[in-house]
Structure 1
């Protein structure tokens, strides 16, 4: 008896250490840094690196404490970690909705620990099928306790009751918050994944096959009816935010054009924005487009479709290979009847069709953990391999990520000088931080713009052209054109301003710059000036603002001042 009690204690300690080892790296979802630029993820990567170094310690201790016969369940660990963290995120969102906690974005009341309600809703949608499956398992085990022969006050019974209550509460919290995020992609991901999980648990596949063999006509009619309902639901979701839906469709269209430019080798990791900007510029320059496309066009950082973005950056063959690996892991997980983690993978795959989850560290790390859960057997050898892998990744990344995080904090201080107009002081800080932050487009733009403000046209263009390889923001083109204008190279300035009108024709500012350029004494072109003036005065802006009114007033005064000379 004493030996059994000691073994149970050792087993309990091993399970706690195991769950801790899984929870620590996944807890980066709760990491939020107000001292870093909005949307900056290096703080989460730094936390992950530190946690990854801690993971081997927890795993090795759990293996030492547990007996050789104990098989530690990685699937159970990651499932309950996601349930706990999904509940914590839901509570965080509820506090934001009721005003107890501020959000991480000034335009949205609900963001959780994220900076945007879209990824936040996607995370909740990913945890919901895990909660559902564990709830179904707990309910099934709970029903067995109603038999008279079972001891309802045994430790196993108490654990099952606690699990049932925890999963019920987790689902309730997530379902309370998820609709408030107003993310149609998350709603769709949660609905499809939860329906699939319940269907697998209830054996719908066998029932449908049986019905098809016995009543093919009735089954076909039901299938057609369900398809019509799905189409109707899709139409209602489209009508909820029509311009947003059209914007996604146009985004995917331009992304496909970018893929067609380099279908085999891709444009390179991290180069989506530049490839997209060039493709959109080429598309609008051709002139064969619909008016609504100009209205919904923007300058996205991501494709809002992970499959298309992977094809742009990696090329179609490599993107298909990665998708095949994911599908193989999912297939293995289904064969092993791990419907909870497979439902989470399915939810993330559906959400990835119209969002950008894999551009954020929390989704990348969680996705890797879920795929591992699909194929893992929980053997001691696999736990040792995971310990070595986590420790190696964390050790290799930690120093560089900590340096980058420190540089981003200093960038925030330099940004204060930049926003205050102290460009000379800001330039010194930007120059010092450049080696560590030269892969961030917004940093490069601020650096180049600070140089522009100091009339350093050549240096400014060098930095801004580097930013153009990482961004599709037309303002970069505008500032480059203004630099050439300062240097007296009017033809180059005109070329860059025209490129800006092609990249995002819905913006009035580049037409305003062209009008002023054509009114320049050394570059006077009356006909082109009149055309640009007409566009500035008559073009319907996407958003009416004070800046638009000021530009129009200035162009009117410029026209009146120069009218005699043009005639």
Structure 2
């Protein structure tokens, strides 16, 4: 009976993990930024439900094992809070930060609680492949027009907002599927198992584990094929690099290749030095050619990311050890990019690729910017423990050890070129893998008997109190997100007075969200409440930095007759993105209306001599108006 209960509990827990991973399919209409918000919403509900089971099992836990990885996770979470308290940025709500840590800590502990159970580990691997297979299938259906895409410019997005996150989500499973195919020996393993199912009416024994393992292999194959089919049309270079890196790591650990690798290295070292150098050049040439080919596929995008990394590094230099605080990138980046071009560091080529990014397209850089070098060292400690230190003795799930590490490599490599951890589905993948791999570390300390209760009981009480405290807060938050979506809809219908009322209704809940404040301030501007708009936009600037805020401030100040402030706002906006014509156009009109004829003519000529980044009816209209402005002043 006890064994049956244990297996039932494990299966139920696997189903809960499957439900968490399945939140990647959520694309509920009704929330603001629904493709991201709905996934987070679903994950929170399932995690809190899973937390009930976690607490129940925790109270009856007979043994607690803590590894070095567990300790580093705790230290990382502690530093995440401490860094926020010692920095003066205050770019994000401390309440939200604490909730995020609570949520992901709970997910980590839920997975970690069962990570020593081989049935659970294999169950997670199976549902992970199944979810990605379905997501890849959806992408293929979108490609052939059988399902709608969630972005007007791209045919393949899955249930994400563009092909980038979609590709990153599915490619993380490529090493997992490949590893299952390469490392599972069905024939040998089934011979070691004598658990068959006897069908009395047919008088036959069915080798259950033999069939089960073939089903796993079938799932791995169809997952692998579906990922390889959907990645090329998705055109994500980062996903290809991430997938190749993870798969190479898995393959280099295969027993059949280990001996070959040793012989190859031995043979290579036996050559003369000149011949070794020649071989290295021969190998590197196609790799470099492939690298330049990937760069050439989307040269503008690659150059834009290099600019983002350069500007971000300038912000890191200002506070390298402790960082600026959570949300610092959105709050500081555009002003720093304006400084970059105003100081003359930016080139003409960079001016043409500069944009208004929401993320630095490099998660380690973002972590360094926001949480400092200390957080980077802690994260490096995770990787050292997982990839360098020796694991404990083999377990029934030991074959998944290298496979999971391959999947982790794919996620990490993808994060070097994108922004996956802004989306809950990616963070869920990362937390699950780290929690599963933590089991393979040698124990730091362990408790058993009555000592466990003294440890788990206070822990369970804290979890219960935290959950009951956060549930009403999160309910109010998601209701506010629905109202925000309604306000945005009214704004798009040009019902500005109704939009302003909707924004005001949820202002007290969302007042720490910079994007919300920007949109609220813009709605007030369109409703001709210029003083109130300036007040809200001043709050927005503390947490968010964008051209829209500067352009709106400029317009508010111009209407109110404060021309110097309007001029400063437009100039700052034009320096943020030098190729953007709109702020220069608004500046020229400001000069013309305020009687500054020479400045108006000079700015108009600058616009006419500027290269046009994107030809459109709007840019042509701007050019025509500037030509008229110059002709009127001759």
Cα deviation, 1:317-374, whole Å, max 9, x if unaligned, reads 3233223224323445867650111111110110011001111111112211110111
Q: Give the match's secondary structure for 2:506.
A: helix
**TM superposition shift of 1:220:** 6.3
1:122-180: CA deviation from partner (whole Å, max 9, x where unpaired) = 01111111111122233x12356599x99994112111221221211111111111222
Q: Which has the higher mean CA deviation after the structures are superposed, 54-63 or 304-313?
A: 54-63
Contiguous gaps of at least 5 residues in structure 1 = 1-5
In 1, distance between residues paired with 2:503 and 2:467?
Answer: 28
1:405-444 matched pairs, under 5 angstroms: 405-444=478-517
> What is the Cα deviation at residue 216 of structure 1?
0.2
Secondary structure in 2 aligned to 1:355? coil
Tell me what 2:32 maps to: 37
**Do the aligned partners of residues 36 and 173 (structure 1) sit closer, same or farther apart at CA in structure 2, a change above 3 Å counting?**
same
Mapped partners of 1:514, 1:457: distance in 2? 18
Is 2:167 the partner of 1:121? yes
DSSP 3-state at the match of 1:41: helix
Unmatched 5+ residue regions in structure 2?
Answer: 64-113, 197-204
1:224 positional shift:
4.4
Please say if 1:498 is aligned against 2:587. no
2:144 paired with 1:105 = no
Q: 1:393 to 1:93 in 2, by over 3 A?
A: farther
Partner residue in 2 for 1:179: 232
TM-score, normalization: structure 1?
Answer: 0.88
Aligned counterpart, 2:67: none
The answer as to whether partners of 2:518 and 2:549 remain within 8 angstroms in 1 is yes
- Structure 1 pair 57–512 and aligned structure 2 pair: CA distance change class (3 A): closer
| Equivalent residues, number | 552
2:322 to 257, 260, 265: 265
**One of 129, 140, 156 as aligned partner of 1:94:** 140
Does residue 72 of structure 1 match 2:117?
Answer: yes
Does the 8 A contact of 2:136 with 2:170 survive in 1? yes
TM-fit CA distance, 1:406: 1.5
Tell me the equivalent position of 1:18. Answer: 13
- Are 2:187 and 1:142 equivalent residues in the alignment? yes
Q: Select 1:533's aligned residue among 572, 586, 604.
A: 604
Q: What residue in structure 2 maps to residue 281 of structure 1?
A: 338
Cα separation, 2, equivalents of 1:215 and 1:234: 25
Partners of 1:340 and 1:237 in 2: how far apart?
27
1:268-301: CA deviations, max 9, x gaps?
Answer: 1012022211210111101243211011000101
Q: CA deviation at 1:100?
A: 1.9
CA–CA distance in structure 1, aligned partners of residues 195 and 481 of structure 2: 59
Deviations 1:471-528 (A, max 9, x none): 33212111111111111111111111111111111111111111111112xx322221
Q: 1:314 aligns with which of 371, 375, 392?
A: 371
Bigger relative contact order, structure 1 or 2, given CA contacts below 8 A and separation 6+?
2
Corresponding residue to 1:295 among 352, 360, 365: 352
The more displaced of 292-301 and 464-473 is 464-473
Cα-Cα RMSD = 3.2
1:469 Cα deviation from its structure 2 partner: 3.0
| Native 8 Å contact 1:25 1:52 kept in 2 | yes
**Cα gap change, 1:300 to 1:124, in 2 (>3 Å):** same
> Is contact 2:553-2:569 (8 Å) kept?
yes
Equivalent residue of 1:113, what SS? coil
**TM-score, length basis structure 2:** 0.80
Aligned-pair distance for 1:397? 4.1
Deviation at 1:440, TM superposition (A): 3.3
Provide the C-alpha distance between the structure 1 equivalents of 2:521 and 2:213, rounded to a whole number of angstroms: 61
- Quote how far apart the aligned CAs of 1:393 are: 7.0
Please say if residues 190 and 209 of structure 2, whose CA atoms lie closer than 8 Å, have aligned partners that are also in contact.
no
Asked whether the 8 Å contact 2:391–2:440 carries over to 1, the reply is no
In the alignment, what sits opposite 1:340? 403
Give the secondary-structure state (helix, strand or coil) at the position aligned to 1:519: helix
